[in-house]
Structure 1
Amino acid sequence: MSQAMTVKIKLNPNELEEELITLSSLTYIKTVNSLVSEMVKSKETTKKSSKDIKAPLNSSVKNQAIRDAKSVFKKVKKDNFKKVPILRKPVIIWNNQNFTICEHGIKMPFIVNGKSEKIEISAIISDYERLLLNRASKVGTLRITKKGNKYIAQIAVEIPEPINTSVKTMGVDLGIKIPAVCCTNDNEVKFIGNGRMNKYVRRQYNARRKELGKAKKINALKKSNNKEQRWMADQDHKISRDIIDFAIQKNVGIIRLEKLANIRKQTRKSRKNNRSLSNWSFYRLASYIEYKAKLVGIKVEYVNPAYTSQRCPNCGHINHAKDRKYDCSNCQYTGHRDIVGAKNIIYAPVLDGNSQVA
């Protein structure tokens, strides 16, 4: 079994390399749009090869542009030519035989002074990204796009799922005040994320949107909302990465999570945390945990969430915790409420259905 994914790497081109990327990207989408227009006009797939395209692009890039144009035309034809999409965002794509991952960058061919020349562009490749590239059973295309002022290299790869024989289990309790609490069946515990900081940042975004709404700045309002969503997704990536790193460190083979559909019902709402609870995507966080776990061979299971934060892990008696503190009236066991939840998740009944939207 292999898992398809995209490895994203930040590029650091110098001024000349930036101009080269920009020019090549604009030429690429212009070539694709031109080919699509020709095919739509003739109502048939182009017979052109790279030799027929007069553009300052490497032959392999021209061939990729032809493939992309054919793909767009196929969709347009299927839709009975109702709408012909026009690419506007600069992008350029190389196939897997025309780029090389180096120690400090990525080498790819450009047309310089009329000749094809491979140029190495400096890149920030983290240990995690390099690990994925080294483990890839198949490397696909390289795609360079611009996001804001940054250039991003997107490399399509297939990662084989390793086999983890460990039966050590870890429960993960997800929440608002503390985003994630991990506990293994050996009582190894880790608190992950900063719920107070998360709520503060989101209140700032909310206050900003109220100001923009009163000023009727609709475009700025949309940008603010998109920025918040990107920030939330980034937080989920960091939290899920820390969870998996902890699981690897403790040789965990199984991660258990609560069934996501019930998380909001379980958490006590208040005026301060109501909006955070209603908008935070527990499903997205769980999906990040699941796909990152698969990459390292860790199995993810979902359990029945009933009484996970109320049942005493020592005697099984049901108690209601006061804020973060849990006291058992039956056996006098005391502990942190979220640790109690994570412990109970380890031994809760495993559900056979798929996770549901939070």
Structure 2
Amino acid sequence: MAQTITVKIKLLPSKEQAAILQSMSQTYIRTINTLVSEMVAEKKSTKKSSKDVHVSLPSAVKNQAINDAKSVFKKAKKNKYKNVPELKKPVCIWNNQNYSFNHTHISMPIVVNGKVSKTPIRALLVDKDNRTLELLTHKLGALRITKKANKWIAQISITIPTVQETETKVMGVDLGLKVPAVAVTEDEKVCFFGNGRKNRYKRRKFQSKRRELGKRKKLIAIRNLKDKEQRWMQDQDHKVSRSIVNFAKKNKVSVIRIEQLANIRQTTRTSRKNEKNLHTWSFYRLSQFIEYKANLEGIKVEYVNPAYTSQRCPKCFEKNKTQDRKYKCKCGFKRHRDLIGAMNIRYAPVIDGKSQSA
């Protein structure tokens, strides 16, 4: 088995290099749109090669543009030319044979003073735990360079083989608001992740700031603040998911089970205080982060039916209503409510029915 993911790397080009990348990205998109228009007019795929495309791009990039144009044409042909896509966002793509990198730079052929030259561009490839460099040791795909919010980003697709453990050891993970995540293994190792109180505080700060900006009619500032809030939330999900997978590795877990929370907003009872948090926090994103990070470590992720996982007693299987975070059963069993959920998730029915025995 293998998994394909995209690694994002921040580029730090010089002013001259940034201008060249900007020009090449615009030329690349313009070339694709021109080729697509020609193919739609002729109702057949182009037979042009890089020699027939007279634009200021390296031949390797021209070939990539031709391939992308053919892909767009196929989509237009499939819907009988009723909707011909037109690309607008500037981007430039190199295949995996036309770029290289070291600890500080990514090198690719670009057009400098009318000539093609393989040029190194500064890049932040070394992170805190060398995670990026470790991922780039796997099979590399295309390099895609684009500009987002005045920052240049290199995106490299990589294919990573995933190996499943022969011995099955299951861990249940319960996701929530007050406690972002709690995990429990088969041998009752428990860990709580994230800080729900801190999350709510940060969200209230963002909401308060937006209200203040709204009164002053600062619409652009409100939009920028919302983007900042989303980046902060995504960063929290990355940190929690990484901690969960590290905990699973430490305890030699081979299967992580998570609730299928597709309808959580419709099924969860909310207080006035938690309503805004519930309807804006992305449980789906956190579960997806857990899944792809777990797969990289050879750990399988299964989704289970969430019905009554926080109400059913793991000892006698009776259903009980909880009081805030405390769970107490008539049989005398007492635990934290979210921990009860994680314990039950370990043995709950898997959605697709393809479960590993726990």
TM-score range, shorter chain: 0.7 to 0.9
Instruction: Give, in whole Å, the separation in 1 of the partners of 2:219 and 2:101.
Output: 43
Instruction: Give, in whole Å, the separation in 1 of the partners of 2:56 and 2:266.
Output: 59
Aligned to 1:258: 259
Are the equivalent residues in 1 in contact too, given 2:100–2:108 (CA < 8 A)? yes
Aligned to 1:170: 171
Instruction: Give, in whole Å, the separation in 2 of the partners of 1:154 and 1:96.
Output: 12
What are structure 2's unaligned runs of at least 5 residues? none
Aligned to 1:129: 132
Deviation at 1:239, TM superposition (A): 2.3
Instruction: Give, in whole Å, the separation in 2 of the partners of 1:249 and 1:75.
Output: 46
Are the equivalent residues in 2 in contact too, given 1:166–1:251 (CA < 8 A)? no
Instruction: Give, in whole Å, the separation in 2 of the partners of 1:99 and 1:294.
Output: 27
Deviation at 1:179, TM superposition (A): 0.8
1:161 aligns with 2:162: yes
Aligned to 1:14: 14
Deviation at 1:92, TM superposition (A): 0.6
Deviation at 1:114, TM superposition (A): 3.1
1:64 aligns with 2:64: yes
Aligned to 1:181: 182
Deviation at 1:112, TM superposition (A): 1.9
Deviation at 1:306, TM superposition (A): 4.0
Task: Name the aligned partner's letter for residue 57 of structure 1.
Answer: L
Post-superposition CA distance 1:102-125 (Å, at most 9, x none): 222211111223332211222222
Are the equivalent residues in 1 in contact too, given 2:11–2:153 (CA < 8 A)? yes
Task: Name the aligned partner's letter for residue 249 of structure 1.
Answer: K
Are the equivalent residues in 2 in contact too, given 1:262–1:305 (CA < 8 A)? no
Are the equivalent residues in 2 in contact too, given 1:4–1:158 (CA < 8 A)? yes
Instruction: Give, in whole Å, the separation in 2 of the partners of 1:82 and 1:306.
Output: 45
Identity %: 57
Deviation at 1:262, TM superposition (A): 6.2
Are the equivalent residues in 1 in contact too, given 2:138–2:158 (CA < 8 A)? no
Aligned to 2:4: 4
Deviation at 1:96, TM superposition (A): 1.0
Task: Name the aligned partner's letter for residue 132 of structure 1.
Answer: L
TM-score, structure 2 as length reference: 0.85
Aligned residues: 352
In the superposition, relative to structure 1, how do residues 77 and 190 fare at CA in structure 2: closer, same or farther (>3 Å)?
same
Post-superposition CA distance 1:69-96 (Å, at most 9, x none): 2222332333343444433222110011
CA RMSD, 1 decimal: 3.0
Instruction: Give, in whole Å, the separation in 1 of the partners of 2:278 and 2:142.
Output: 39
SS at the partner of 2:346? Answer: helix
What are structure 1's unaligned runs of at least 5 residues? none
TM-score, structure 1 as length reference: 0.85
Deviation at 1:296, TM superposition (A): 1.6
In the superposition, relative to structure 1, how do residues 114 and 129 fare at CA in structure 2: closer, same or farther (>3 Å)?
same
Instruction: Give, in whole Å, the separation in 1 of the partners of 2:263 and 2:81.
Output: 45
SS at the partner of 1:199? Answer: helix
Are the equivalent residues in 1 in contact too, given 2:164–2:300 (CA < 8 A)? no
Instruction: Give, in whole Å, the separation in 2 of the partners of 1:181 and 1:85.
Output: 45
1:114 aligns with 2:110: no
Aligned to 2:32: 32
Instruction: Give, in whole Å, the separation in 2 of the partners of 1:82 and 1:262.
Output: 35
